[in-house]
């Protein structure tokens, strides 16, 4: 039986076990997927112990994605760009390899599930933290016209933009915000406190603007509520991204591709 899991703190809320069990059933594999609450200063110790127990690998969630980055001896291109690792695999020769499937998962959800087009489009991203760093590289592969990064702290947006070579990624202040973006993606951690949007001008949303929140929630997130009230044509949360990033992780471990739509629908309904 394949042993895998998710490292986090907190981790109790994680929906990854049910997602991976659904994938495993789909391809006829038996897996044990554990939720592992990792003490804040014990990432390496916990990772060593889990892999020594025979685990093939594991997912990593908040706040350990940069610990995971440092733990790996080899990393995928996406992980290098993101500066963070969310999926680890122990290869047959013992090498610990780190991947980042967050950006791939977001793009797959946007393109494949939502059927939004990013090529040539004007994208605005809100926030400049780890979550945003993890998605920019993958968004760029879709060749948008530009990606504007708007953050409460402009210097952080500037530092983030400097880590990408593309001239199409720009840090902007409030005066630089344009009207009617094609796509606005919220990647701030403010969503749960309910005050997102308060200082955003409504003109950034036009009648064909699509809004995406990396956070998922049973009700409309504060950002999506604001976007909807401002006239956005479609508002989507990050549940699809969660399932799509998991599908990439599952493929890394098993070499098997899964169908995600029914898993996303099942999670939405439950």
Residue numbers of the site for ligand ATR (CB under 6 A)?
A: 127-131, 151-153, 156, 188-190, 193, 195
Q: Which is nearer to ligand ATR, 108 or 186 (CB)?
A: 186
> Closest CB to ligand ATR belongs to which residue?
129
The distance of closest approach from Cβ of residue 151 to ligand ATR in the complex, given in angstroms and rounded to an integer, is 5
Q: Which is nearer to ligand ATR, 49 or 62 (CB)?
A: 62
Give catalytic status of residue 65 as yes or no: yes
Q: How many CB atoms lie within 10 A of CB 208?
A: 13
For residue 166, give the nearest of 190, 140, 200, 142 by alpha carbon: 140
For residue 138, give the nearest of 248, 41, 40 by alpha carbon: 248
The distance of closest approach from Cβ of residue 259 to ligand ATR in the complex, given in angstroms and rounded to an integer, is 29
Q: What sections of the chain are H helices per DSSP?
A: 16-27, 43-52, 65-71, 77-82, 102-108, 130-140, 154-162, 222-229, 239-254, 261-269
For residue 60, give the nearest of 35, 24, 80, 25 by alpha carbon: 35
Which tokens go with 38?
């990792």
The distance of closest approach from Cβ of residue 193 to ligand ATR in the complex, given in angstroms and rounded to an integer, is 6
Q: Which is nearer to ligand ATR, 24 or 139 (CB)?
A: 139
Catalytic residue among 35, 45, 65, 228: 65
Q: Which is nearer to ligand ATR, 112 or 152 (CB)?
A: 152
The distance of closest approach from Cβ of residue 115 to ligand ATR in the complex, given in angstroms and rounded to an integer, is 27
Contact by Cβ (8 Å): 264, 113? yes
Give me the active site residues, please. Answer: 65
């Amino acid at each position: 039986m394949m042993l895998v899991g998710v490292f986090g703190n907190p981790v109790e809320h994680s929906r990854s076990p049910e997602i991976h069990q659904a994938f495993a059933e789909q391809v006829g594999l038996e897996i044990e997927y554990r939720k592992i609450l990792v003490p804040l200063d014990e990432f390496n110790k916990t990772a060593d112990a889990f892999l020594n127990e025979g685990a093939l690998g594991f997912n990593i969630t908040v706040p350990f994605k940069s610990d995971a980055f440092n733990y790996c001896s080899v990393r995928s291109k996406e992980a290098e760009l993101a500066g963070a690792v969310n999926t680890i695999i122990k290869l047959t020769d013992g090498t610990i390899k780190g991947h980042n499937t967050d950006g791939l998962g977001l793009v797959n959800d946007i393109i494949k599930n939502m059927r939004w087009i990013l090529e040539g489009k004007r994208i605005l991203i809100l926030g400049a933290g780890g979550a945003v760093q993890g998605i920019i590289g993958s968004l760029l592969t879709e060749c948008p016209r530009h990606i504007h990064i708007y953050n409460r702290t402009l210097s952080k947006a500037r530092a983030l933009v400097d880590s990408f070579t593309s001239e199409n990624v720009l840090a902007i202040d409030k005066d630089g915000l344009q009207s009617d973006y094609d796509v606005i993606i919220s990647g701030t951690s403010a969503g749960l406190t309910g005050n997102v949007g308060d200082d955003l001008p409504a003109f950034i949303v036009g009648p064909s603007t699509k809004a995406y929140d990396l956070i998922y929630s049973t009700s409309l997130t504060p950002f999506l509520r604001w976007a909807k009230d401002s006239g956005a044509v479609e508002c989507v949360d990050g549940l699809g991204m969660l399932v799509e990033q998991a599908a990439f992780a599952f493929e890394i471990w098993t070499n098997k591709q899964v169908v995600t739509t029914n898993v996303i629908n099942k999670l939405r309904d439950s």
